[in-house]
Structure 1
């Protein structure tokens, strides 16, 4: 029997056609499948395509469900692609909402995600309204920075980098005249649209914003430090204590809140802290561990008279000083 060109890749091509060009509203008949295979340079007969469809259905552990729709306008279509459409939409939303992924890289990633559903449903992944008004990064190097950090974390080795700040010319300039930071990386966390590295250095765990890290290099042969400190480290608690990821002295702070702000407190601190009703029936108190910083005071001030610092006295006094300084500026 003569060898038919392209048979080695026919099964894969047929599978890709079913994923890309079919769904429950767009089945393809066997003659149409033969034609599409021919468009890809694969010569086949209808009988062999029937056999190939049966083979795809019987592959052990396969996650694809090929359905035959009988009757006029019927044919075969794929019902279960690797991702459900709703799952792809969630992934697309995450990519569009991410500040550190550039607009160009966002489009590339969305196009790739679109390959996991039929071309008829790809239009539903066009959700660019999420990007409106958002500041997207212009530096794609952060993707490789994240990859390098993940690699170092997996290998249990230290990393070296320059840490930068924006200047008035809108350029990143290294801190301390380009001093190289050497830290032991433990985990990457996501907060308010930014990536942060939690790392051990100078006897404690600190965080660094990943998009401000440049020239990141893994240090082969080094041993990551801080295992004992990280074993007792609760990432979620650490993130809840932070406001704008600014460090400050950790204090146990009590807030007096109007009842209407119960949801805002739960959104910020979770459901573990107890909301204690006040005798007046209009307020409640919540006590939480906070890293006290100007950003924390700004967060409290954002609620106006609806939320106030009840204690401890030194934090309440610092809140008053902050408000007095702001009032003096606008006097």
Structure 2
């Protein structure tokens, strides 16, 4: 505890420049006498800490004191702080605390040259899901949840959560699925009714896994579509620029994808401004679904 408190005192002095012994005593819930013993220990270890008496006095560090951080380059220090900034916006309290400490240690101001916003996690239910999974991973607790895959199929899963990560515009969970006996990747949007169990498991090291699943979708065909110019905002938002050929009257797009349920719902979401040109099987399936949808409105309600 003493060693931890000594390091904490150094971080506080780096950040606040000067504090009083009673302030430190209250923070660490120890006596003022103990704080002065800590200051003597720091001084004996070569830390240039000093005390001044009277009004405006207190405990401080010499102005030119910098903790040894030569193992990291300036660029590496900036990269570490950027990573912590990204973690901090997910309301990760440990990241915010560490960001403050390392900013003082590296003697770098918050430059704010980039801002990451995960505001989609603000809704209460989604934030609780994220926090529950984080706790389950850290505590090695088995979880149970309902899951809907890309084909719209429902299943009840029991899994050992391993890692949460963000890619593109979505959060994913890597977990060992007991049902399949394999490591699987689950999109958090499709994960419902999550509960932690009292069952514990031995953590598997992801780096040692030889058959880690990939987020890359199986792309077994190419789809060609024509989109009206009025859909330009979605075309450039949702398609790779290399797939787009812009003509005077419309956009012509050819893209690789998998023949899965999500594809048709996504294409239909563009409305009448998008027409599937091929392949024939996808065009036929689109016609079939449109006829079924139209039939729903032809019946008398």
**Superposition TM-score, scaled by structure 1 size:** 0.51
Take 1:298 and 1:258, find their aligned partners in 2: how far apart are those partners? 18
Residue 49 of structure 1 is matched in structure 2 by 50
Take 1:8 and 1:198, find their aligned partners in 2: how far apart are those partners? 34
Q: For 1:139-190, what per-residue CA distance to the aligned partner results, in whole angstroms no more than 9, with x for missing partners?
A: 54311444588x9xxxxxxxx8755259xxxxxxx946xxx7689x998654
Residue 13 of structure 1 is matched in structure 2 by 9
Residue 99 of structure 1 is matched in structure 2 by none
Q: For 1:55-111, what per-residue CA distance to the aligned partner results, in whole angstroms no more than 9, with x for missing partners?
A: 833635287x9xxxxxxxxxxxxxx99975x76654333x1xxxxxxxxxx474576
1:1-331 to 2 correspondences below 5 Å: 12-19=8-15, 21=16, 28=17, 33=18, 35-40=19-24, 41=32, 42-43=35-36, 48-49=49-50, 52-53=61-62, 56-57=65-66, 59=68, 61=70, 89-93=85-89, 95=90, 106=91, 108=93, 112=97, 115-116=100-101, 135-139=125-129, 140-147=131-138, 162-164=144-146, 175=155, 190=166, 192-197=169-174, 207-209=185-187, 211=191, 215=197, 218=201, 227=210, 235-238=215-218, 250-259=220-229, 261=231, 264-271=234-241, 273-278=242-247, 281-331=248-298
- Figure out how many residues of one structure are paired with residues of the other and give that number: 246
Q: For 1:212-244, what per-residue CA distance to the aligned partner results, in whole angstroms no more than 9, with x for missing partners?
A: 5765865789xx99947x6xx763455xx6xxx
Q: Tell whether the 8 Å contact from 1:13 to 1:37 is kept in structure 2 after alignment.
A: no
3-state SS in 2 of match to 1:91: helix
Moved more, 298-307 or 308-317: 298-307
Residues 219 and 294 of structure 1, relative CA distance in 2, 3 Å threshold: same
Q: Tell whether the 8 Å contact from 2:174 to 2:183 is kept in structure 1 after alignment.
A: no
Residues 330 and 209 of structure 1, relative CA distance in 2, 3 Å threshold: same
Take 1:226 and 1:81, find their aligned partners in 2: how far apart are those partners? 31
Take 2:187 and 2:4, find their aligned partners in 1: how far apart are those partners? 49
Residues 256 and 194 of structure 1, relative CA distance in 2, 3 Å threshold: same
Take 2:13 and 2:162, find their aligned partners in 1: how far apart are those partners? 43
3-state SS in 2 of match to 1:56: coil
Q: For 1:238-277, what per-residue CA distance to the aligned partner results, in whole angstroms no more than 9, with x for missing partners?
A: 5xx6xxxxxxxx4321121234545534543434x43234
3-state SS in 1 of match to 2:70: coil
Q: Tell whether the 8 Å contact from 1:196 to 1:209 is kept in structure 2 after alignment.
A: yes
Residues 324 and 164 of structure 1, relative CA distance in 2, 3 Å threshold: same
3-state SS in 1 of match to 2:128: coil
Q: Tell whether the 8 Å contact from 1:256 to 1:308 is kept in structure 2 after alignment.
A: yes
Q: Tell whether the 8 Å contact from 2:162 to 2:176 is kept in structure 1 after alignment.
A: yes
Take 1:7 and 1:162, find their aligned partners in 2: how far apart are those partners? 41
